[in-house]
């Protein structure tokens, strides 16, 4: 990653844009391939226990990260609903916390 911008707090929205120092195809797979998402989702020391992706406009994905034992091993569920997908340059989605028994 070479830059990060955050802004646009209109209507409760936060817009984050990143420029990655990798080929576009590699960055695309990191977000669209469940196996790749499981490799990187979460901070250092956390694991990604679940990456059920419905990677299409209108699709909803469920991604779960698990905290390490020293943080209680809790699972944090996130739901992503895709609003725009333009391969290989743009992925827009809304993100929300999901309940403990979350389903996509």
Mean pLDDT of 27-36: 96
Burial of 91 (0-12, 13-18, 19+ CB in 10 A): middle
pTM above threshold 0.75: yes
3-98, CATH topology level = Alpha-D-Glucose-1,6-Bisphosphate; Chain A, domain 4 (3.30.530)
HSE-up (13 A, CA, CB side) for residue 4: 4
Structure tokens at 68: 């390490």
- Facing residues of 93 across strands? 82
DSSP state for residue 102 in the 8-state scheme: -
Q: What is the pLDDT of residues 55-95, one digit of tens each?
A: 999 999 999 999 999 999 999 999 999 999 999 989 999 99
Structure tokens at 100: 């403990």
Displacement of CA 3 from its chain's centroid (Å): 18
Distance CA(41)–CA(11), nearest Å, equals 27
Mean pLDDT of 19-44: 94
């Amino acid at each position: 990653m070479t830059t990060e911008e955050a802004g646009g707090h209109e209507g409760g929205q936060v817009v984050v844009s990143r420029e990655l120092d990798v080929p576009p195809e590699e960055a695309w797979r990191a977000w669209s391939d469940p196996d790749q998402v499981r490799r990187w989702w979460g901070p250092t020391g956390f694991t990604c226990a679940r990456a059920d992706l419905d990677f299409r406009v209108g699709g909803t994905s469920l991604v779960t990260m698990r905290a390490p034992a020293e943080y209680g091993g809790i699972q944090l569920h996130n739901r992503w609903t895709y609003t725009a997908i333009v391969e290989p340059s743009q992925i827009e989605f809304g993100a929300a916390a999901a309940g403990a028994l979350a389903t996509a």
